[in-house]
Structure 1
Amino acid sequence: MNNLLMSIPDLQPEELGGINDLIKDMSIEQQQQFILLYSGKRKKPQEILLLTCLGFVVVAGIQRIVIGQIGMGILYLFTGGLCLIGTIIDVVNYKKLANDYNLTQMYEAARMVGLQR
């Protein structure tokens, strides 16, 4: 199992703890399916930071759209990142945005694997 976890780039400690809790009762096949599903869906914090920084120059709110917060992304788009204040807050909190998104994707992947029994 460690080899599978090593295949996920930039795994955060919070993610590792959550993954270990979720997969402890899964079979090896389910664990492999979970890791494949989750690694394809997760976002690295650096990606969120890059997208947020692009919001200053190109399109405000793209980071929110990518993490599934479509309404907030459209609001940022039309208000210039809430007059750049929201974008600045997102630059500071990019790790939290990524971790919250990844946590949601982790549970979704676990549900998908659980349904495939």
Structure 2
Amino acid sequence: MNRILSQMPELELDEAMTIDALLKDKTDEQIRNFAIIYRSRRRDPMIILVTTLLGFAGFSGIQRFLTNQMGMGILYFFTAGLCLIGTIIDLVNYKSLALEYNRKVAQEAAMFI
């Protein structure tokens, strides 16, 4: 896991463990290439939090669009975040939204190296 964290110190523990499992048999060069690809596609949990908070200002669903959940994003947009209930739930679960998206991105990026 030290090789992963040395290349990507911004990762949280759950995310780093997932990536470590994906890259356990890879060389340092492959890990560097993965880091370049992954960083460009990764979503920071704080961005998900900020965009979720925008739902209270009338811009509901942005966090769902950022995590490639287009259907839910459209639903949130036209229903004011499901009458703010969905927005509140996303506010509580913003880290899991980001982690789920980042795991998918990591699996896709691991196929390219």
TM-score normalised over the length of structure 2: 0.91
Structure 2, unmatched stretches of 5+, are: none
Tell me the CA shift for residue 59 of structure 1.
1.0
- RMSD, aligned CA: 1.1
- Structure 1 partner of 2:29: 29
The answer to whether structure 1 residue 20 and structure 2 residue 58 are counterparts is no
- Structure 2 partner of 1:5: 8
1:1-117 correspondence to structure 2 within 5 Å: 1=3, 2-6=5-9, 9=10, 11-113=11-113
CA–CA separation in structure 2 for the residues paired with 1:5 and 1:66: 21
Tell me the CA shift for residue 27 of structure 1.
2.2
Displaced runs of 4 or more, over 4 A: none
Structure 1, unmatched stretches of 5+, are: none
Instruction: Output the amino acid matched with 1:76.
Output: Y
Tell me the CA shift for residue 3 of structure 1.
2.6
Tell me the CA shift for residue 21 of structure 1.
1.2
CA–CA separation in structure 1 for the residues paired with 2:29 and 2:13: 24
Percent identity of equivalent pairs: 47
Give CA-to-partner distance per residue, 1:38-78, whole Å, 9 cap, x none: 11111111110000000110311011001100110000001
Tell me the CA shift for residue 5 of structure 1.
2.5
Instruction: Output the amino acid matched with 1:15.
Output: E
TM-score normalised over the length of structure 1: 0.88
